[in-house]
A and B are shown apart, each in its own frame.
Chain A
Amino acid sequence: QVQLVQSGAEVKKPGSSVKVSCKASGGIFNTYAISWVRQAPGQGLEWMGGIIPLFGIPNYAQKFQARVTITADKSTNTAYMELNSLRSEDTAVYYCGRDVEGGLDEGARFDSWGQGTLVTVSS
């Protein structure tokens, strides 16, 4: 099973950007999607967007469309999520997950998760 290891915690100023990495090992990287999910303190999970590294075309949730960029580097099995124009409400743990599409019978699921990256936005 693939293992996902994320970059470390970040503290950012409002208005700045953050870029979080997610390195995969031990499994197939290129043909499965990597999605990014965030969790604000005490809140639920929120899907932000994803990418299939083989194709390199990202999909974004409408809420984040204007501020997020998701990329993947096939040569290093690493996905990235960059969030711009940070505000205090972006303080959250950001997770990457391997997004497996199983069709009608098995559906979509995240079968592996990174350990999470805490991003704190504070002046």
Chain B
Amino acid sequence: SSELTQDPGVSVALGQTVRITCQGDSLRSYSASWYQQKPGQAPVLVIYGKNSRPSGIPDRFSGSTSGDTASLTITGAQAEDEADYHCYSRDTSGNHLGGVFGGGTKLTVL
């Protein structure tokens, strides 16, 4: 089965740029999507596909992929960006709905 690996925790100074990464073999075949989750809340989609943002998501959020690694970049991090970030992609099981999440990265804004 597929696995996606994320760093457990990352910190960034207010207003600076931070990159959160997600690594796994499935990313060579499938695009990643990224979710922001604040305590006690459901996840929220922030980036999907090659680099698409749902309406309402600030343009400081961007995404990219190289090889087996997807990245979520926040340019000019704000205090409200402090949250857990989860990556997701389809898996390689052959199950057409099969998917896998990374373990999540806790972003701290200093």
Contact = CB atoms under 8 A, between A and B. Distances in A.
Given A107-B49, A109-B33, A59 B100 contact: no
B102 A44 contact: yes
Contacts of A110: 33, 35, 43, 45, 88
A104 to B, nearest CB: 8
Contacts of A115: 42
Q: Is the interface of A mostly helix, strand, loop or mixed?
A: strand
Interface in B42-58: 42-45, 48-50, 52, 54
B97 to A, nearest CB: 4
Contacts of B66: none
Given A44-B101, A45-B101, A47-B98, A106 B52 contact: yes
A50 interface: yes
A53 interface: no
A47 B48 CA distance: 17
Interface in A45-88: 45-47, 49-52, 59-62
Contacts of A111: 45, 48, 54
A60 B30 CA distance: 19
Interface residues of A, number: 31
Given A105-B50, A107-B89, A59 B97 contact: yes
B22 to A, nearest CB: 12
Given A62-B1, A95-B43, A107-B49, A44 B103 contact: yes
B49 A49 contact: no
Interface of A: 33, 35, 37, 44-47, 49-52, 59-62, 95, 97, 99, 102, 104-111, 113-116
A-B interface, 4 closest residue pairs, ranked by CB to CB distance from nearest: A107-B31, A106-B49, A109-B33, A109-B48
Given A46-B101, A106-B31, A109-B45, 17 more contacts: A35-B97, A45-B43, A45-B104, A47-B101, A50-B97, A51-B97, A52-B97, A61-B98, A104-B31, A105-B31, A106-B52, A107-B30, A108-B31, A108-B88, A109-B88, A110-B33, A110-B45
